[in-house]
Amino acid sequence: MKGKIFGFFITIFVGALLFFVALDRKTLGDPYEVYQVYLNGKKIGLIESEQKLLNLIDKEQSNIKDTFNVDKVYPPTGLVIEKVYTYSDKLNNTEEIYNEIKDSEPFAIQGYTVTITYSNENLEEGAKPKEPLKIYLLDSSLIKDSLYEIAETFIGKDELKDYENGTQSEITDIGEIINSVYFDETITIKESLISTTEKIFTDKNELTKYLLYGTLDNQELYKVKEGEDLYKIADDHKLNIAELLIVNPKYPSGNSLLTPGEELNVGLINPLVSVTYRKTVVSNVEVPFSTDYVNDDTKYVDYRQVTTPGVKGISKVTQDVKYVNGDIKSLKINQSEVVKEPITEIVSRGTKKIGSYISYNSQSFSTGDYSWPTNSPFIITSRFEYRWGTFHKGIDISGTGYRSPIYAIADGEVYSTGYGGNEGNYIVIKHDDTLYSQYMHLAKIGVHKGQHVSRTEKIGEMGSTGFSTGIHLHLGIWLNAPPYQQGSVVVDPCKSVFRC
């Protein structure tokens, strides 16, 4: 009996509970439609109207409208508002939520996000890949106008205009013509909300400066002194003449006359984009003469006499040249026509010993004792000078093609060979106690350490190994000690062993 009574009460209790729940729903009616506000993933309150909050933000942030000259202000990019349903009538005041947002996160405006994505090819050893760069604008035309101005800076205003309009002059004898212009990077433009704490560009000149220098800092200015020229000023500020002319476009060439007291921009450019353009170039290039020696056993070893002066030749060459931001990155000679054959220099040299203890075992290093390290014709694409703030310790020779032969410039002994991350496959030859020649970026090394080599002997093949952006030979000349070692001095190949 007890169990039956207990079961009866349980039934009554459950039934009553269901009755009251049903009664409560009937009393409460339908749930409220409200809005849950999140800031950076955190709940900050419930509000009655999303639009009321948005209108309040837009109304209260008039200073942002004035600063950026816009008509509307938006919530922070981390603000999320979701529609929810509830029976609770405990809602937050819209002004409370606004104040919490205002004190926590910056508001946003409508604009454009430009993303510059880099290919990260040909990175120097140890260099970190470049992350995509984001630039924020209010007007999408700014980036187009600035990129065009950057292209004009490196290519030339008239040249770029003629290319665009299809009005370039045809090459009849010598000259050059642009075939294509593009940027190496992938550049995208997307409409977006931008936080007002970001740097938002509204001026084309400011954006162009940023893209050219990689910074908005003021660039260094220099006052010209009496007797100075553009070449000296460039060298003193670790620039080459082309870089100085880029940032001072009023000077047409390095030979432009200067007035003491006038100011020059000597800032180092660091472009954030790569203006790439290809040209067909037809030009007359010098072909160096070779030197032959006639031994005379009636003369002592210190005797040397030019019997037939050497004369340089001339070839007309057609080149396919790729430029990036004004620098030659690759060059291929497609056609070569001999205009004038070079005349070989003939030198008579003595072989008679001066005393029993002295023998003829090396050359006395005058200019004629050196042979050019590549085939002809060739183009020197980079010289012994500053390049983007660092000094280029040699000359780059291009145009003879991949795996074309590389020759020893003089008799000597192979000091070292190997592979370096920046040098690629390299050879260093010791010519006497004071002079070393260095050959870099080779496709193939054809000699070994300790091997004796003769002037004009093939030692390797031209390539593009290591930190190299195209097929070429880097030739360096070092005095006193091997390259990069204590006491070594690097000199210009074109002012020491050659005249080029």
Alpha-carbon gap, residue 115 to 125, rounded angstroms: 26
The answer as to whether 257 is a domain residue is yes
Q: Are the C-beta atoms of 197 and 245 separated by less than 8 Å?
A: no
The answer as to whether 388 is a domain residue is yes
Whether residue 322 sits in one domain with residue 194: no
Higher pLDDT, 19 or 95: 95
The answer as to whether 4 is a domain residue is yes
Q: Which of 253, 269, 285 is the last residue of a domain?
A: 269
Q: Is the pLDDT of residue 360 over 50?
A: no
Alpha-carbon gap, residue 313 to 308, rounded angstroms: 15
What is the pLDDT averaged over residues 5-16? 43
Widest distance between CA atoms in the chain: 147
Domain with 65, as residue range(s), is 31-106
pLDDT bin (cut points 50, 70, 90) of residue 29 is: low
Residue type, 28: L
Alpha-carbon gap, residue 404 to 384, rounded angstroms: 23
Nearest to 100 by CA among 33, 44, 35: 44
What is the pLDDT averaged over residues 405-433? 94
Alpha-carbon gap, residue 185 to 271, rounded angstroms: 12
Rg (CA), the chain: 37
What is the pLDDT averaged over residues 364-377? 73
pLDDT bin (cut points 50, 70, 90) of residue 49 is: very high
Whether residue 292 sits in one domain with residue 343: yes
Of the listed ranges 12-16, 206-210, 272-276, 316-320, the one predicted with least confidence = 12-16
CA 486 to chain centre: 31
Residue type, 29: G
Whether residue 444 sits in one domain with residue 325: yes
Q: Is the pLDDT of residue 357 over 70?
A: no
Alpha-carbon gap, residue 136 to 134, rounded angstroms: 7
Total structural domains within the chain: 5
pLDDT bin (cut points 50, 70, 90) of residue 500 is: confident
Whether residue 444 sits in one domain with residue 312: yes
The answer as to whether 497 is a domain residue is no
Of the listed ranges 84-93, 205-214, 248-257, 399-408, the one predicted with least confidence = 84-93
Q: Are the C-beta atoms of 436 and 403 separated by less than 8 Å?
A: no
Whether residue 459 sits in one domain with residue 319: yes
Tokens representing 300 are 């002592």
SS3 track for the chain: CHHHHHHHHHHHHHHHHHHHHHHHHHHHCCCEEEEEEEECCEEEEEECCHHHHHHHHHHHCHHHHHHHCCCCCECCCCEEEEEEEECCCCCCCHHHHHHHHHHHCCCEEEEEEEEEECCCCCCCCCCCCCCCEEEEECCCHHHHHHHHHHHHHHHCHHHHHHHHHCCCCCCCCCEEEEEEEEECCEEEEEEEEEECCCCEECCHHHHHHHHHHCCCCCCCEEECCCCCCHHHHHHHCCCCHHHHHHHCCCCCCCCCCCCCCCEEECCCCCCCCCEEEEEEEEEEEEECCCEEEEEEEEEECCCEEEEECCECEEEEEEEEEEEECCEEEEEEEEEEEEEECCECEEEEEEEECCCCCCCCCCCCCCHHHCCCCCCCCCEEEECCCEECCEECCCEEEEECCCCCEEECCCCEEEEEEEEECCCEEEEEEECCCCEEEEEEEEEEECCCCCCEECCCCEEEEEECCCCCCCCEEEEEEEECCCCCCCCCEEECCCCCCCCC
Residue % of the chain over a pLDDT of 90: 76
pLDDT bin (cut points 50, 70, 90) of residue 19 is: very low
The mean of the pLDDT values for the chain is 89
pLDDT bin (cut points 50, 70, 90) of residue 2 is: very low
Alpha-carbon gap, residue 450 to 393, rounded angstroms: 25
Whether residue 67 sits in one domain with residue 135: no
User: Which pLDDT does position 12 carry in this prediction?
Assistant: 42
Whether residue 375 sits in one domain with residue 475: yes
User: Which pLDDT does position 354 carry in this prediction?
Assistant: 64
Angle at 496 between CA 493 and CA 499, to 5 degrees: 75
What is the pLDDT averaged over residues 41-54? 92
User: Which pLDDT does position 223 carry in this prediction?
Assistant: 96
Q: CATH no. for residue 233? A: 3.10.350.10
Q: Is the pLDDT of residue 125 over 80?
A: no
Whether residue 365 sits in one domain with residue 463: yes
Nearest to 35 by CA among 59, 15, 52: 52
Q: Is the pLDDT of residue 103 over 90?
A: no
Q: What is the pTM of this model?
A: 0.82
Residues 109-123: b if buried by 16+ CB within 10 A, e if exposed: bebbbbebebeeeee
User: Which pLDDT does position 355 carry in this prediction?
Assistant: 55
Nearest to 461 by CA among 473, 451, 450: 473
What is the pLDDT averaged over residues 470-481? 96
User: Which pLDDT does position 3 carry in this prediction?
Assistant: 47
Q: Is the pLDDT of residue 369 over 80?
A: no
Whether residue 310 sits in one domain with residue 198: no
The answer as to whether 496 is a domain residue is no
What is the pLDDT averaged over residues 457-473? 94
User: Which pLDDT does position 127 carry in this prediction?
Assistant: 74
Whether residue 194 sits in one domain with residue 155: yes
Whether residue 328 sits in one domain with residue 239: no
Q: Which of 106, 124, 155 is the last residue of a domain?
A: 106
Whether residue 296 sits in one domain with residue 264: no
The answer as to whether 433 is a domain residue is yes
